[in-house]
Structure 1
Amino acid sequence: MSTRSTGTNTKRRSHPDTPDTAEAFRALVTLPPGPQHDTVRERIVEAWLPMADRLAGRFRNRGESTEDLRQVAALGLVKAVDRYDPGRGNAFESYAVPTITGEIKRHFRDHMWTVHVPRRVQDLRNRVRVAGQELAQTVPGRRPTVAELAAHACLSEEEVRAGLEALESFSALSLDAEASGGADGWALGDVLGTADPALDVVVDREAVKPRLAALPEREREILYLRFFRDMTQSRIAEEFGISQMHVSRLISRCCRRIREQVLEDAA
């Protein structure tokens, strides 16, 4: 005699928090959008929430609060309920577990890393972390070597080193943290570079250089003596045998002309 699948959850439940909602799912797919459909959907989600909470508990102590993990797991559960097709004959649990777990892992990948690293390196980090935890039980008193981690995780030593570096990228130190190897009292923020105001001077100097070169020789030398040799206008006047007022007018006229030309070039 042949047997026919009757829908979801026909398999033996693997855990006490996996309820039998086969009938509810079969009813859900027949209901049109509306209050009755939403009520059945909410009933299914509530029934499976304990399982979602259990899956969230597997990721505790990883830098995220338990409540936030439960919310992410609940979001994954809702997605699983909305996407599940009981007509395929598979148990809802077998579909919901990877869906919820994947949602939690995406949360860690997208929101918990201070320094973004490629997905491949994140996977290496997880494999190296797990291998380190397992080897710590067999090599007490010391940290596993790179070679031991590589052999245990079936990775190359280069991949293990990349995973070990990623272990330090999950969270960042505060800028108030003491700098490693620095003088007493120095924080990381004290060794950060700042914008160099001299860079603006370089840009301005390069902008006026061709305009200065185009000036007549006398005006060019007057500007040089005034702004590079720091000579007074009276000394310059004596040097060229002209009045101080004439020197002042020449300097003002040259500076105004160069400024206008540079602004035109920039426009």
Structure 2
Amino acid sequence: MNSEVIRRHRAAVVTKSPLVHNITNNVVTNFTANGLLSLGASPVMAYAKEEVADMAKISGALVLNIGTLSTETVESMLIAAGSANENGVPVIFDPVGAGATPFRTDVARKIMREAKITVIRGNAAEIANTLGEENWTIKGVDAGEGGGDVVSLAKKAAGKWGCIVAITGKTDVITVGSHTWTVHNGHQLLTKVTGAGCLLTSVIGAFCAQADNHLEAAVSAVAYYGVAAEIAGEKAGNNGPGSFQIEFLNQLAETTDEAIDERCLIKEVQ
């Protein structure tokens, strides 16, 4: 896999403008919608259990995000996931804050058990707590200090769940178990913008919506996101996270093929 593959997947998102159905948290809804629009995708936010099955069925991808949990939202997520599974729509899951409370952790595990997930995307602590690993900690919805090998953790999760696992952080790891890639792009200001990880999950959804090879699509999404963030950080300069956030939305739309070729840092892990 190389930058040409990333460019091809990126171009397909623009050409096809896939509909991405988000059941996400109320902190990030606006940023997620704007980010998907900047990317060239078509976002929809539909939560009511009366309509989520119909919306999921006609979407290119379904994104589930448990950032702000309620029993009603979980019910809608499982209904939507069932419809997506029946209709061959990829399901992308973000277990935000798994490990912070028993309820949150139980919900993350329930979704993994009861829905067929295409990609799960989270930080190492979230993935570890969803998996049941005890050597990682979490504070609120942010990753805490943990121990262990992230690549091994990702492969273990992929083996248990039979899906693509994307663990994002300073170095991103994306694996299906038998094939593993690391991505070394990004910018530190991503950690200062609320919803940057949540938007990435939806961007993975947009890339998967237009692809048959979901592993390639997930790696491409993470790499493109990281390259856009690097350029945004440079353009924002010392103006802080507010300027970075706006410039990042710009770069999701404007990052060129040449920039992808020059900056993309992905490696296959043997």
Name the TM tier (shorter chain).
under 0.3
By relative contact order (CA 8 Å, sep 6+), the higher-ranking structure is 2
Structure that is richer in strand per residue: 2
Structure that is richer in helix per residue: 1
- Bigger radius of gyration among the two: 1
TM-score, normalised relative to structure 1: 0.25
